[in-house]
Structure 1
Amino acid sequence: MSKSVHCPKIIDSHAHIDFPEFDDDRAELFKAMRAMGINTALIPGVSPSHWENQLHIAAQYSCPYALGIHPWFFSDNYSAELSELDKAVNQRSQEPKFVAIGECGLDKLRGGDWEIQLKVLEHQLTLAKSLNLPVILHVVKAHSELIALLKAVKLARGGVIHGFYGSLEVAQEYVKLGYKLGIGGLILNKDAKKLKACVTNISLNSLIIETDSPAMGPKHLAEKRNTPLILPSIIEEIAKLQKKSSVLVSERMFENVTQLFDL
């Protein structure tokens, strides 16, 4: 019997496959993903200037997608950009492939003006609440501020803390609020002790897997560009940390992402 019969179904819950780093070989990458049992990738939005190409790629490859404004990408004219987001979201609210608001969030290292970051995020959280959609959240050095906001807004569908790299205590705060943790290529770094300890002690029900391609690849990656093809390695590492089978972990990750985003 061929191995492909047992090939688990895998979804990359966060990959920027619309970015120009994939323009030369996007079709080949999707073919390679399918050969590894990676069904699809959710493509998050980052700014109005990116949405047109993002939506084109999502339609071309039948990918689920989110729309949002990332804290790295808003401009001085952020009010107009939020209006564009409202319009784009309302136009697509009934499309099955439109599954979340994001990528949005807070970033004290690389984000823009802090007060504007807060306004832009609060708008998007309110939008997600009004549409009963989950959110895809980017957070760097701002967990306490984000947790306070999420407690105040109380999104019924929750969402995912993308690229999670925090402590077990912070993870448990998010889990209590109904959010999942996005675990990516950083888990494959030997020095990621805090993240490994967190994943070891968190329920599989609270995790989903992602790559943030083309960024956030593990240190040992030979190719500078990250891709969804590292997902089986992430599954194996989670399985090792949790002392469970890779098949069980793979199945649970698939269930978690399909339930969260209603895929």
Structure 2
Amino acid sequence: MTKLNSLNERIMSTMRILDSHAHLDDDLFDTDRDELFESMAQTGIETAIIPGVSPERWDKQLDIAKRYSCPYGLGIHPWFCEDNPQQALKQLTDKLNRYREDPYLVAIGECGLDKIRKDNWDGQIIALEAQLSMAQQLNLPVILHVVKAHSEMLAILKRYSLPRGGVIHGFYGSLEIASEYIKLGFKLGIGGLILNTSARKLKTCVAQLPLESLLIETDSPAMTPRNAAESRNTPLILQSIIAEIANLHKKSSVLISEHAFRNAVQLFDLKLILI
């Protein structure tokens, strides 16, 4: 073993890492999920938060979360909203009532607004506002998906008092927009897009953000960085995300990982899960 490899291993052993947003219940992981979790453990990744996306997928998601001791959220993703989402919202209410005492239920979401799929825009808004109300009632943070809809999202969030705040997952916006979310008590999830050389705007923004506002995530199996070895994304790229943020802030990877880990533990109240 070279001195450099030995140093890298010592550095990794001092880092606590978790993926704050990974869909590890996705069918693309069905053939090698055990091996993936073993590789995550070997590289210092302690766990991943699995967000919910639709009633049809919650049961499998909950089974995977239980099997691998992963914290999770329950929610309705804007891609899966109907024009009239009342039935799905009732199912969500029932599911939350059933699992509300589960310490592994740590968030409402993934929910949000997505103008790329705006054919169901009215349903997206109805579902989002209902889920924000659920977050208020259950005192849980929210995991928000926001694509080309930051002005609308900020306007809605300003009407709600969310004591636990939440995270803007897969953030890809300006410093001005980021600052508005931070003022409202939200953190920003930074994923594999930061590894793309073309992501200059995101890199500029992240370099100026306070470390207390950042979470690291992958959105696996989606959001694979360009030039990645495989088309399927996994939490195993987290080390590279940390290294890139460290480079942008001119800090050590250990410091970045400490902040990101602490931020996730505080936001999602993971103290009883991660000992």
**How high is the TM-score relative to the length of structure 2?**
0.93
Supply the distance in 1 between the matched residues of 2:119 and 2:86 (Cα, whole angstroms).
14
1:129-148 aligned within 5 A = 129-148=136-155
Give the Cα separation in 2 of the matches to 1:47 and 1:40: 22
Cα root mean square deviation, aligned: 1.3
The match for 1:188 among 167, 192, 195 is 195
**Which residue pairs with 2:264 in the alignment?**
257
**Which aligned pairs between 1:209-220 and structure 2 lie closer than 5 A?**
209-220=216-227
Whether 1:34 and 2:51 are equivalent positions in the alignment is no
Alignment-mate amino acid for residue 140 of structure 1: V
CA offsets, 1:138-196, max 9 Å, x none? Answer: 00010000001111012010000000000010000000111000000000000101100
Return 103-112 or 72-81, whichever deviates more.
Answer: 72-81
Separation (CA, whole Å) in 2 of partners of 1:93 and 1:197: 39
Q: Distance in 2 between matches of 1:167 and 1:195?
A: 7
Counterpart selection for 1:164 from 127, 147, 171:
171
Match of 1:106 among 88, 91, 113: 113
Contact 1:107 1:140 in 2 (8 A): yes
> Are the counterparts in 1 of residues 215 and 264 from structure 2 also a CA contact under 8 Å?
yes
Aligned to 1:69: 76
Residue equivalent to 2:273: none
Q: Which residue is 1:82 aligned to?
A: 89
Please identify, of 59-68 and 5-14, the stretch whose mean Cα deviation from structure 2 is larger.
Answer: 5-14
Cα distance between partner residues in 2 of 1:92 and 1:244: 40
CA positional deviation for 1:75: 3.1
For residues 55 and 106 of structure 1, the distance between their equivalents in structure 2, rounded to whole angstroms, comes to: 24
> Is the 2:83–2:120 contact (alpha carbons within 8 Å) kept by the matching residues of 1?
no
Q: CA deviation at 1:8?
A: 1.0
Runs of 5+ unmatched residues, structure 2: 1-5, 271-275
Alignment deviations for residues 193-214 of structure 1 (CA, whole Å, 9 cap, x no partner):
1100010000000000000000
Hey, what does 1:179 align to over in structure 2?
Answer: 186
Which ranges of structure 1 fall in alignment gaps of 5 or more residues?
A: none
Aligned counterpart, 1:122: 129
Tell me, in whole angstroms, the C-alpha distance in 2 between the residues paired with 1:103 and 1:6: 31
Kindly indicate whether the alpha-carbon contact (under 8 Å) linking 1:7 and 1:36 is maintained by their aligned counterparts in 2: no
| Matches of 2:14 and 2:86, distance apart in 1 | 46
Instruction: Give, in whole Å, the separation in 1 of the partners of 2:25 and 2:261.
Output: 22
Aligned to 2:51: 44
1:225 partner SS? coil
1:24 is aligned to 31
> Is 2:231 aligned against 1:231?
no
Q: Aligned-pair distance for 1:63?
A: 0.2
Q: In 2, are the aligned partners of 1:71 and 1:111 still within 8 Å (CA)?
A: no
Is the CA contact 1:72–1:112 (under 8 Å) kept in the aligned structure 2? no
Divergent runs of 4+, >2 A: 1-7, 74-77
CA displacement 1:27-80 (0-9 Å, x = unmatched): 000000000000000000000000000000000000000000000012355211
Contact 1:15 1:210 in 2 (8 A): yes
Q: Secondary structure at the match of 2:107?
A: strand
108-117 vs 187-196, which moves further: 108-117
Say how many residue pairs are matched. Answer: 263
